Chains A and B, each alone.
Chain A
Amino acid sequence: MKFLLMLLWALSTPILANTGVAVQIQARLAAEARAADATFQGFSVQRGEAFYRDRHGDWSCATCHTDHPAKGGRHAVTQKAILPLAPSANPERFTDPKKVEKWFKRNCNDVLNRPCTAREKGDFIAYILTVRP
């Protein structure tokens, strides 16, 4: 019964169809994080949310992607509209590992002025997957 309820919940949640790739990316990031730090205990939604909201310099992730990443954002420089980042609102997000890595690379350099660590990226994904529309 519990299983059936969970299945029902899963099917009714649009993000589940696309979380497969995000989970695979997280698995790879977890291996990287463990290799970098033997005490790594897994990714944290709370850390991910704090990372998303905190300003690292003058920008945070939220600067462009808004405080609620299920909403559309706006580019801080060009003012162009940005589609929602959360897969719950935009199922195409986090479905292409190459694209995910490309944008982590670019945006981490823009916001933190350095590459993100595997743990930061994994925390970020853990958070973004929990965001509901």
Chain B
Amino acid sequence: MVGRILVWDIPTRVFHGLLVACFGLAWLSAESERLRDIHVLSSYLLLALIGFRLVWGLIGSRYARFAEFVRGPSAVSAYLRGLMQGHPPTYTGHNPAGALAIVALLGLGVASGITGWLAFNEMGGEVVAELHETVANAMLALVFLHILAVVISSRLHGENLVKAMLTGYKSGASGMGIRRAHGGVALVLVTGLAAFGWAMIQGKLPALWDPLSASVVGKSHEEG
């Protein structure tokens, strides 16, 4: 029996929405010194989100787990070939191309966080600063590719995948759905992030703003 089944649990959807928000904020504040605190804050939150997602990918509900959706290159190319021919194979959870985008976006998010942290603390000089920009640009490009692929897949599958990521529901065989939405976990995630962000804004975590000056005198900020 095919019907409406819950596929994406609440933590996965909340993660997705907040990741979009944090990446967007970090991107828009990237070129500004006035907004530097927003850039740093949203980037730390982005890293915290990815940290959560990596854990949730191991212990989360069925379709949130990496083991369920990360597949080898042959599955990805089979899916993409199907996509080109207009008949991509149907997956209840993430399709193999979407899975690839997820893994790559998580990796690029971590890489942009690390290179940004190094650049913010003047480690690695211009090379790292430029690497940070390159990684962030690659991430933005992949975001657009991901959106494009989602739109195309939605059309070909006859199912609004954007809506599915918002509501959690897709159409599928009735036994294939997840039983619990894990709202409590999402609440813990949001509360934790809010507390973390609030503490940073209140200056209670000075080591995150200026890790080196706490111990080393003569910290510097590089400019042309």
Contact = CB atoms under 8 A, between A and B. Distances in A.
Please determine whether chains A and B interact with each other in the same assembly. yes
Interface of A: 64, 72-73, 75-83, 85, 93-94, 96, 98-107, 109-110
A85 B219 contact: no
Interface residues of B, number: 19
Contact of B33 (A77, A93, A104): A77
B19 to A, nearest CB: 24
Interface in B174-190: none
A83 B224 contact: no
A81 B220 contact: yes
The 7 closest A-B pairs by CB, nearest first: A103-B224, A100-B224, A83-B220, A82-B221, A99-B224, A81-B219, A110-B33
B224 A93 contact: yes
A77 B224 contact: no
A94 B224 CA distance: 6
10 contacts: A72-B220, A77-B34, A78-B37, A78-B40, A81-B220, A85-B223, A99-B223, A103-B224, A106-B32, A107-B33
Given A77-B37, A79-B210, A101 B224 contact: yes
B169 interface: no
Contacts of A102: 224
Given A100-B224, A106-B32, A110-B32, A80 B37 contact: no
A105 B219 CA distance: 24
B209 interface: yes
Contacts of B87: none
B33 A82 contact: no
A81 B218 CA distance: 7
Contact of A99 (B35, B126, B209): B126
A44 to B, nearest CB: 21
